[in-house]
Amino acid sequence: MATIRQMDMFDLLKYNNVNMDLLTETFHTNFYGKYLNSYGEYCVVSEDTVSNIQGYLIGKVEGYKGNDSIKDWHAHVSAVTVAPHFRRQGLARALMQYLHEVSIKRHDAYFVDLFVRPSNKIAVNFYRMLGYDVYRSVAGYYGGDANEDAYDMRMSLPKDTDGGLSIPTGKTIQPHELEYQ
């Protein structure tokens, strides 16, 4: 049994079991705090009946709300992850569905986007199963020793009536060319 609830700062003291995965991006505490303060509705955890954190999602909205000529008002998934021993139970899907609902009902967003390592085949396939497509690639997005590119994946929401904002471009851009960072 899992419960999805809003994340709070005390959860940061209890989520190490989730962040131990090598493919999970871990951020500084102030990064989580900024998201909790600015985008609290997009910061949620899944916990079991004894309050063990099973996974979490953090996201945000960005773009120009109300400017229907630009059509860039969208939700962004900054991180979604589930602890290894809680996987294959549909928790990541439930967290993503939560984000989709908030994006549609509260923010009236055009689409959702996220960045993922192409080498993380499980995640890429998961996002494809949810309806995401690789919109474009971002060269060298994941720095460090591996210096790996990122897939910028998108999924249109009902406001993008023809799905045109998520049609793959086939382009590769540089990180400094990203509209929102």
pTM of the model: 0.90
Provide the residue-wise pLDDT of the chain in tens; the chain has 181 residues.
Answer: 788 999 988 888 887 777 666 666 677 788 888 998 999 999 999 998 888 888 999 999 999 998 788 899 999 999 999 888 888 888 999 999 999 999 999 999 999 999 999 999 999 999 999 999 999 999 988 877 678 899 999 999 999 999 999 999 999 999 889 887 6
Long-range interactions of 80-84: CB distance < 8 A, separation 24+: 80/55, 80/56, 80/114, 81/18, 81/19, 81/21, 81/24, 81/55, 81/56, 82/18, 82/46, 82/54, 82/55, 83/17, 83/18, 83/20, 83/21, 83/53, 83/54, 83/55, 84/20, 84/21
